[in-house]
């Protein structure tokens, strides 16, 4: 006789199907996915921009890098398309209780879009100085999951009938409108500061429709967010070949109306419970630092290595997430490496790597690989970047997978997340 675990794994494969995931992984839905750079050049070079001038995203990476090398006004706009993939797997055993392989029980696929941009104006002054303004997606919440629970009993009639439909839908972002000022205070040393107005309205809905009981249960949380923040930074040219940068984004709080609604509909009976209050959510500060090396060769090249330390453990423990869940967080490192090589025809090739630890899982991290190119038509600059991100983690089932005589497996799911991203950007100088 086949073991119960074997039958269970096969049953799960047969009766669970899944839908879509957006720009984040499920692990990031508590506070959102921390975003890196916003310009195509920065993203192609591993989201660097702390020690290397990129564009308007200096407002969030290092406001001291706002001061451009040329006079005038520069506008930039970035559009992003993402294809996300989430595979959930459970162990599969043979009749002798020996591990065979991991069986896929859920597949999520979706496409998502985003746009950001800003402007930097170098002031007509004897001493280099600039001001900037921009809008940026700082933390991304969007995540969707859908599954059908089907009858695992091979003798049931009709066979493979749908018992339940289950869904998790998370939407929204924490945005910022940022404005800043940067100036050269002494030769080869620049200082900058920026202010941020944060805003957003994330929403999460968890719903279960049961066709056996003709019932629907839903749990919806909506949280309005609004608050102020700040950043300071410094940039300096240590030598002809080395640039250094450091910045600090202060911790901030966002608050707003919190609405929690639980609803159960059975036949014609409708039971709804609503909780409304005002609450505040804290986000940690972030220290960023790094260097850029300009090699001594005939063709222009830049090599940047930068780090970010985000202090999640400074928040109260356990920490209440945006949706009210209790989480235990860890401080995270974010390693960013970028290389740019400009050919004889002034066409740049950019390569990047980013390693981002997950704040909600001490054993999970995301590796992001990127490549990009740019082209100039007079004052118009066009850039394109491709990115691929990969993350593996262990997570419990999002819904109870047991049914009748088929109990839940005695293990978590192995979750493999990947995000393929294409970035298009345009900049124009006046």
**pLDDT at 281 exceeding the cut of 90:** yes
pLDDT level of residue 175 (50, 70, 90 thresholds): very high
CA distance 282 to 227: 10
Mean model confidence pLDDT for the chain: 88
pTM for this predicted structure: 0.88
In this predicted model, what pLDDT tens digit does every residue of 108-141 receive, in sequence order? 888 888 899 999 999 888 888 999 999 999 999 9
pLDDT level of residue 290 (50, 70, 90 thresholds): very high
Whole-number pLDDT of residue 96? 77
In this predicted model, what pLDDT tens digit does every residue of 301-328 receive, in sequence order? 999 999 999 999 999 878 899 998 889 9
End-to-end CA distance of the chain: 77
Task: Output the six-digit token pair for 190.
Answer: 């620049």
CA distance 44 to 370: 5
The candidate with the shortest Cα–Cα distance to 354, out of 262, 288, 272, 282, is 288
Count the alpha carbons within 13 Å of 73 in the hemisphere toward its beta carbon: 5
- Has domain 4-429 been given CATH number 2.40.160.60? yes
Sign for the CA dihedral angle at 128, 129, 133, 138 comes to positive
Beta strands in 94-153 (DSSP E): 99-122, 129-140, 143-150
Per-residue pLDDT averaged across 97-115, rounded? 82
CA distance 56 to 63: 9
Map out the domains of the chain as residue ranges: 4-429
């Amino acid at each position: 006789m086949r073991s119960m675990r074997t039958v269970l794994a096969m049953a799960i494969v047969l009766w669970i199907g899944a839908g879509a995931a957006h720009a984040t992984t499920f692990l990031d839905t508590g506070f959102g996915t921390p975003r890196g750079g916003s310009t195509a050049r920065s993203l192609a070079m591993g989201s660097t921009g702390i020690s290397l001038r990129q564009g308007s995203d200096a407002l969030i990476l290092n406001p001291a890098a706002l001061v451009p090398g040329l006079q005038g006004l520069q506008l930039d706009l970035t559009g992003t398309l993402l294809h996300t993939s989430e595979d959930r797997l459970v162990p599969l055993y043979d009749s002798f209780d020996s591990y065979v392989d991991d069986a896929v029980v859920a597949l999520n696929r979706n496409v998502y879009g985003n746009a950001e941009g800003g402007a930097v104006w170098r002031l007509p002054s004897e001493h280099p100085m600039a001001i900037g303004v921009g809008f940026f997606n700082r933390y991304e919440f969007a995540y969707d999951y859908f599954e059908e629970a089907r009858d695992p009993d091979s003798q049931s009639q009709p066979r493979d009938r749908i018992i339940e439909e289950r869904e998790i839908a998370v939407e929204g972002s924490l945005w910022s409108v940022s404005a800043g000022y940067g100036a050269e205070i002494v030769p080869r040393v620049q200082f900058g500061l920026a202010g941020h107005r944060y805003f957003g309205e994330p929403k999460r809905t968890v719903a279960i429709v049961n066709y056996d009981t003709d019932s629907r249960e839903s749990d919806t949380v909506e949280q309005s967010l609004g608050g102020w923040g700040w950043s300071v930074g410094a940039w300096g040219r240590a030598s002809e070949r080395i640039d250094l940068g450091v910045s600090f984004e202060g911790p901030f709080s966002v608050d707003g109306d919190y609405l929690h609604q639980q609803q159960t509909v059975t036949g014609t009976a409708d039971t709804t419970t609503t909780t409304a209050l005002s609450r505040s959510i804290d986000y940690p500060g972030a220290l960023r630092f790094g260097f850029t090396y300009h090699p001594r060769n005939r063709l222009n090249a830049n090599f940047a290595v930068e780090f970010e330390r985000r202090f999640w453990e400074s928040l109260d423990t356990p920490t209440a997430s945006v949706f009210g869940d209790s989480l235990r967080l860890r401080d995270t490192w974010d390693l960013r490496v970028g290389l740019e090589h400009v050919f004889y025809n002034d066409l740049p090739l950019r390569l990047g790597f980013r390693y981002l630890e997950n704040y909600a899982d001490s054993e999970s991290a995301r590796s992001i690989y990127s490549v990009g190119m740019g082209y100039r038509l007079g004052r118009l600059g066009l850039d394109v970047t491709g990115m691929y991100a990969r993350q593996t983690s262990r997570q419990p089932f999002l819904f109870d997978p047991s049914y009748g005589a088929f109990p839940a497996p005695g293990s978590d799911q192995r979750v493999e997340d990947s995000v393929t991203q294409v970035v298009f950007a345009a900049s124009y100088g006046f």
